[in-house]
Amino acid sequence: MKAREIMTENPACCVPTDTIQHAAKLMVECDCGCLPVVDDLRSKKIVGTLTDRDIACRCTAQGKGPDAPVSEAMSLNPSCCRADDDLREVEKVMTDRQVRRVPIVDDRGSCIGIVSQADLALAAERGLPEQEVGRVVERVSEPGRGARAESRPEAR
C-alpha cells in the first residue's frame, strides 16, 4: 500500500510568521492536531510542523501568549515521505522519529498531504495488518526515544 492511498490530501498549513492563535484556530476548524508549516502558502515548501502539544509545551508552558509566532513553537526539519512511498517507509519515519504524523511532499518538497496514526488505523480496514499498526503506535509512544528534541527551536 502506498502513502497516497491513505494520506489526507491538501492539509491546512500555516507559515512561521502566523500567530499561535491563528494556527490553533486552524486546528479547531480542520479538526486536526498538527499543521505542516510551509515557507509560503503558494509553494507550500515544508519547513516544519506544529502540533497542539508544541503549542502547550513551547508556548503556554513558557508563558508565551496567542500572539507569539508559529516559528517559536514549531518543530524544525520534519522527516517527510513521498506519495508513492510504501507505508512501511511512513511507519519507519513514525517509529524512528517518534512522531504521530508524517507530511507527504512532492518532488519540489511541497506539502501535498499528511499521514497520521489514525490514517494507518483506517488502512487496517483495507488490508494493512492490525499487528503492524499496533507495533507503530507502541513504538511511537515509547518514552525517551526519537529525535524530537533535536528539532526544537531552542536547539537551533
> What are the tens digits of pLDDT across the range 13-47?
999 999 999 999 999 999 999 999 999 999 999 99
Q: Contact 86/72 with Cβ under 8 angstroms?
A: no
Total domains present in the chain: 1
Residue 85: give its domain's CATH number: 3.10.580.10
Sign of the C-alpha dihedral computed for residues 104, 57, 59 and 76 taken in this order:
negative
CA 61 – CA 52 distance, rounded (Å): 12
The pTM is what? 0.81
Domain that holds residue 15: 3-155
> What are the tens digits of pLDDT across the range 57-114?
999 999 999 999 999 999 999 999 999 999 999 999 999 998 999 999 999 999 999 9
Q: What angle (nearest 5°) sits at the alpha carbon of residue 117, between those of residues 7 and 97?
A: 100
